[in-house]
Amino acid sequence: MPANNQNNLNNGISVDCVIFGFDFEKLQILLIEREPGKKDNPLDYALPGDLIYNDENLDQAANRVLKELTGLENIYLEQSAAFGSLDRTQRESDRAWLESVRDQPDLRVITISYYSLVNINAFDPKPSSFASKLVWKPVAEIEDLAFDHFDILNQALDNLRNRLKIRPIGFNLLPEKFTLSQLHKLYEAILGRELDKRNFRRKMAKLDLVVRLDEKQQGVPHKPSNFYKFNTENYQKLIEEGYDNFGF
């Protein structure tokens, strides 16, 4: 055994997933609603996440945990950051919860966060395991989360925004067919600021990342908008050329 207890290697490693979704209005995030503790605490939300196994690597763990807790599979997942503050599991409400689900609630746990972008309408979140209840929450309305998950969320959002300047990953949040207005609103939702409609469309057109389909919206009480799809080939071409100015 090690000589000093500072180095007794009794560490846990977890992954936490920040799952962004878009409902054509606001940027949302998928959270686990935890049972309120003994006290009449307000409702309490946490990111989907869990300890990793010893025989899987980090990406595998993130995919597994996500599947186990939400049913999501084969989705875009990007590593975000590592969090390892000593006090990250020391809040009272969190400790009670840990005691109910962990063999070693006192274990010091370092977490690796991932973020993901999904089409909010394309899947049916299936709570399981200790994720008793899954809910989508608008990111902008979240003020706190369990553990240090609020920090993790903000970090992920920051990474997402930076990434969006370099890669057009936002398309992951949309269904296969979408309108330019939806795409426009998506960028505004992620970036948290307004973008001029004409300038947005001009740049999108120049990038040549979308293809106009011969199909329109139906049943809307106004001029129906045209559907588009993502142009994978052109995207690949741009990336191979080293192009990386996808920002607004």
Partner DNA sequence: AATCTTTGTGTCATTTTAACACTTTGCTAA
Partner DNA sequence: TTAGCAAAGTGTTAAAATGACACAAAGATT
Return residues touching a second copy (CB under 8 A): 1-3, 5-13, 51-58, 61, 79, 81-86, 103-104, 107-108, 110, 112, 162, 166
136 touches 28 (CB < 8 A): yes
Of 138 and 224, which has the nearer Cβ to DNA? 224
Question: According to CB under 7 A, which one of 101, 224, 236, 237 is a site residue for DNA?
Answer: 224
247 touches 209 (CB < 8 A): no
Of 121 and 199, which has the nearer Cβ to a second copy? 199
Of 1 and 141, which has the nearer Cβ to a second copy? 1
Question: According to CB under 7 A, which one of 1, 222, 240, 241 is a site residue for DNA?
Answer: 222
Six-digit token pair at 63?
A: 């995919």
Q: Is 242 in the site for DNA (CB under 7 A)?
A: no
Six-digit token pair at 31?
A: 């959270």
Quickly count: other Cβ atoms within 10 Å of residue 78's Cβ.
Answer: 18
82 touches 112 (CB < 8 A): yes
The radius of gyration of the chain's CA atoms, rounded to the nearest angstrom, is 20
Of 53 and 243, which has the nearer Cβ to a second copy? 53
Residue of 136, 229, 222, 231 whose CA lies nearest to 180: 229
Helix (H) or strand (E) holding 210: strand 210-216
Question: According to CB under 7 A, which one of 38, 39, 193, 223 is a site residue for DNA?
Answer: 223
Of 8 and 132, which has the nearer Cβ to a second copy? 8
Q: Is 206 in the site for DNA (CB under 7 A)?
A: yes
Q: Which does 203 bind (CB under 5 to 8 A by kind): a second copy, DNA, none?
A: DNA
- What minimum distance in Å lies between the beta carbon of 160 and DNA? 19
φ and ψ at 73, to 5 degrees? -140, 150
Q: Is 110 in the site for DNA (CB under 7 A)?
A: no
The stretch among 5-13, 47-55, 92-100, 240-248 that binds DNA (CB under 7 A) is: 240-248
Six-digit token pair at 129?
A: 């395991």
Euclidean distance between CA atoms 26 and 22, whole angstroms: 6
Six-digit token pair at 16?
A: 């936490």
Measured CA distances, 31 to 12, 48, 142 (Å):
22, 6, 11
Of 77 and 112, which has the nearer Cβ to a second copy? 112
The 185-204 contact track toward DNA, x by CB under 7 A, reads -----------xxxx-xxx-
Contacts with DNA, residue ranges (CB under 7 A) = 179-181, 196-199, 201-203, 206, 216, 218-226, 245, 247-248
